Amino acid sequence: MISQSVENPHNLTLLHFVPTGHLIMVDSAIMQDQERAVLVSPVLDQQDWSCVRLVYQITGRGCLHLHLRPHSDNFDYQIWTADNASDSWLIASVDLANSTIPYQILLEGRPELGLGNSVAIFEIHIVPGYCIECNFEEHHLCGYSNTWNPNVNWYVGGGKVQKIEFSYSSFSYPGHYMYVDSVYAKHFQEVAKLTSPMTTVPMAGCLTFYYQRDQEKGNIFSVFTKDQLGHYEEIWRPEVYSTASWILVSVDIKALHPLEVVFEVAFNSAHGGYVGIDDISFSPEFCHTDTEPTFDPSIANCDFERDLCLYHEERAETKSWIRASVKANAYRSGDHTTGTGCFLLANTHYTSRLGYVGRLHGPFLPGNLKYCLRFYYLLHGFRKVDNALSLYIYDEHNVAQEKVWSLADMSRDMWTQVEITYRKPMVSKVVFVSICKNFWECGLVAIDDITVSMGDCQITTGSLSRQCDFESGVCGYIQDKTGDKADWLRVRGHTPTFYTGPRGDHTSGVGYFMYIEASLMRPGHKARLLTSDLWGSSSTQCLIFYYHMYGSGTGILSVFLHHSSREQDMLLWRRQGEQSISWMRAMVEYHCDAQHQIIFEAIRGPSLLSDIAIDDIRFKRGLCEDPGDGTSYSGFSEYFNEIEN
């Protein structure tokens, strides 16, 4: 989740006042190493949408985290964080989506060790409604911020205003509002921006506000949305330059990813006029009946475990793409989803011939929307990668509009992730194309786990998740310093010893994973990696993770449940010896209603060929889903030819 941006000391989110009440603070001078300072709320049972507003200050180096603890859940979910040091009080606004499950919020202050570092909180408010809503009656202005300009800025108005008189026919007088005046404008296109707090959970519906305007022609008043990457999209602009009273505006927005609402006014001179706004509100129902409902692009997802989903070949009779699977083995990689499931394979010995072209068409998706397409590919046996795999965007008339990606590297026998962000004005679909111009230079190309989501691939989703892919760190996992003789290592790329360990991680093929390096251990030595404390739950939990056990001397990988009331850890899952050259998926169900930890324990085998790795650990409430099955291939042949489909 994203904290309130503080780029300028003149932002309205900096609260220039001297606190007259009390505050709560954690100072590095009174903390020991590894100590945590956590403030826990009472149990809250607010089923409607609400907004947490914090007035806080970080002095020196440190950070502040806001966590959500749903009742009867294993985890605390981090929903906001800040590490901006400031000499003024800051305000943060964090949305809490409606929920029928009681919860608590936790504030964790982490000043770094050393003198002069502290984290302080002056106010905590949980108010009903959405964080982007505001009537500007409070001193904190609901977290709205002004982007400082030496000549034109947004100010708080209300009561008696010397230069501007507004007509308050729509609400009680003498309330407050925000206004911007051109009187000090000195340059062409002087711009004033008023920016809302960043949304922190997905939301879609009707944004309403009142405005009053008296501007000369050529001056601009617009409303935009701005995402985390700084991309603006205009959502409204008035049709008139002057209004006699306050005018109500309704505009539909779809904030599936974090964004800000920006009210922007541009003046060309000191006589440009003024603009005022007030009473910003939001409803989860669209204001206009012709607004299309939020589209779910997951219809284009496919892991090929059951069938081809909504994908199809250009000519059904050609069978250019074949759904296949590979049994766990030490020679050929299986699918990306489970290690033993199904994937889609092109350029088999049935189709690798001079002039071969294979096209796989996806389902049609609506236009004027930004999509993030992700998929995995694997190569085997290619001498040249030219035309081995490309991706095109086709329109509804099956005409290619753009080639958005093509294979450029020679990575082989390893599932590698591709991310593509695209937007087309028309209805469109993606088409995977594999071309073989010369039989002797062509190999095999496979694809798997296609997903399509809304928005830019660089923007992370706002949903609650308890998953660790080790890309940004170890996610709070703890090395056991007392019960083992070695540590788990976080690395990327292939491990240093040949014929053992993965070639890359499971998440993307080029990211990080955790593993034990057998050359640093003796036979029988163990390394234990522990989760942070889990709170326990009355419901069954499903632990999902990927493991890699390749090497003739591979030892043992076990998963234990550690409970302080038990003398011995409870074994939940175990594998021994070489399993596969692929990343394999494990799904483990367990139940524990008290505080506990999950332990990943790896024991080195008799030889150096004993590296063991784990990646993409995830917990979810409820029973584990059926992974499904598919026709398997032994994988011991030189080629993927002996495939049943």
**Residue ranges of domains in the chain:** 24-128, 141-283, 297-454, 467-621
* pLDDT on residue 353: 53
Q: Residue 93 and residue 546: Cα distance in Å, rounded?
A: 36
Q: How far apart are CA 501 and CA 495, in angstroms?
A: 6
**Residues 6 or more apart from 513 whose CB is under 8 A from it?**
470, 490, 491, 492, 502, 505, 506, 507, 548, 613, 614, 615
Res. 442 pLDDT band, cuts 50 70 90: confident
At residue 407, the pLDDT reads 86
Q: Per-residue confidence at 513, pLDDT binned at 50, 70, 90?
A: very high
Given the candidates 2.60.40.180, 2.60.120.200, 1.20.120.640, 1.10.3720.10, the CATH classification of the domain at 467-621 is: 2.60.120.200
How far apart (Å, rounded) are the C-alpha atoms in residues 335 and 377? Answer: 10
3-state SS, residue 319: coil
Residues 6+ apart with CB under 8 A from 602: 488, 516, 526, 527, 555, 556, 557, 558, 612
Q: Residue 157, SS3?
A: strand
Tokens found for residue 470: 């080790």
Residue predicted with more confidence, 449 or 369: 449
For residue 322, the one-letter residue type is I
DSSP conformation letters of 409-464: S---SS-EEEEEEEEESS-EEEEEEEEES-GGG--EEEEEEEEEEES-TTSPP-S-
CATH 2.60.120.200 assigned to 297-454: yes
- The model's confidence at residue 354, banded by pLDDT at 50, 70 and 90, is low
Selected residue with higher pLDDT from 320 and 409? 320
Which amino acid would we find at residue 612? I
Give residue 207's pLDDT.
97
Q: Say if 141-283 and 297-454 have the same CATH topology.
A: yes
Quote the pLDDT of residue 645. Answer: 37
- At 237, the amino acid letter reads R
Tokens representing 176?
Answer: 């407050």
Q: How many residues does the chain have?
A: 645
Round to whole Å and give the CA distance between 424 and 366.
Answer: 9
Q: What is the pLDDT of residue 519?
A: 93
- Give strand pairing partners of 600: 529, 559
Tens of pLDDT, residue by residue over 183-209, are: 988 888 889 999 999 998 888 999 999
Residue 590, CA distances (Å) to 486, 528, 550 in order: 27, 19, 27
Q: Where is average pLDDT lowest: 167-171, 365-369, 393-397?
A: 167-171
What pLDDT score does 599 carry? 96
Pairing of strands 342-346, 273-283: unpaired
In this predicted structure, the answer to whether residue 16 has a pLDDT above a threshold of 80 is no
| pLDDT, greater one: 295 or 373 | 373
Confidence of residue 34 (pLDDT cuts 50, 70, 90): low
Dump pLDDT digits (tens) for 60-77. 999 999 999 988 788 888
Among 551, 615, 586, CA closest to 415: 615
Question: In a 10 Å sphere around its CB, with 0-12 CB exposed, 13-18 middle and 19+ buried, how is residue 335 labelled?
Answer: buried
Q: For residue 159, what pLDDT is reported?
A: 56
What predicted TM-score, i.e. pTM, was given to this entire model? 0.84
pLDDT level of residue 111 (50, 70, 90 thresholds):
very high
pLDDT exceeds cutoff 70 at 247: yes
Q: How confident is the model at residue 18 (pLDDT cuts 50, 70, 90)?
A: very low
614, 601 Cβ separation under 8 angstroms: no
CATH fold of 24-128 reads Jelly Rolls (2.60.120)
The predicted pLDDT at position 543 comes to 95
The pair of three-digit structure tokens given for residue 144, joined into one six-digit string:
């709205």
> Which tokens go with 106?
């936790």
pLDDT the model gives residue 2? 31
The residues near 494 (Cβ < 8 Å, ≥ 6 apart) are 501, 502, 503, 504
pLDDT at residue number 234 = 95
> Token pair for residue 268?
């060309």
Is pLDDT of 626 > 90?
no
Judge whether 530 and 478 are in contact, CB under 8 Å: yes
- Bridge partners (DSSP) of residue 378 are 446
Per-residue pLDDT tens over the stretch 422-436? 999 999 999 999 887
Check pLDDT > 70 for residue 235. Answer: yes
Cα angle 68, 254, 420 (rounded to 5 degrees) comes to 90
The whole-number pLDDT of residue 186 equals 86
Report the pLDDT value the prediction gives residue 644, as an integer from 0 to 100: 36
Give the span between the Cα atoms of 559 and 571, in whole angstroms. 6
pLDDT at 355: 57
Band of pLDDT at residue 573, cut at 50, 70 and 90:
very high
pLDDT digit string (tens) for 147-166? 999 999 999 998 544 334 44
Give pLDDT, residue 548.
Answer: 97
Please name the fold of domain 141-283: Jelly Rolls (2.60.120)
pLDDT, one tens digit per residue, over 545-567 is: 999 999 999 999 999 999 888 88
Over pLDDT 90: what percentage of the chain?
A: 60
More confident residue, 348 or 1: 348
Burial of 131 (0-12, 13-18, 19+ CB in 10 A): buried
Nearest to 511 by CA among 583, 372, 447, 417: 417
**What would the 3-class secondary structure string for 307-341 be?**
CCCCCEECCCCCCCEEEEECCCCCCCCCCCCCCCC
Task: Answer for the pair 273, 216: CB distance below 8 angstroms, yes or no.
Answer: yes
Work out the end-to-end distance of the chain between its first and last CA atoms, rounded to an integer number of angstroms: 44
> Residue 630: is its pLDDT beyond 60?
no
Give the torsion through C-alpha atoms of 515, 517, 522, 526, to 10 deg. Answer: -10
CB 129 within 8 A of CB 167: no
Is the confidence at residue 639, as pLDDT, over 80?
Answer: no
Average pLDDT of the chain to the nearest whole number: 85
pLDDT band at 347 (very low <50, low <70, confident <90, very high): low
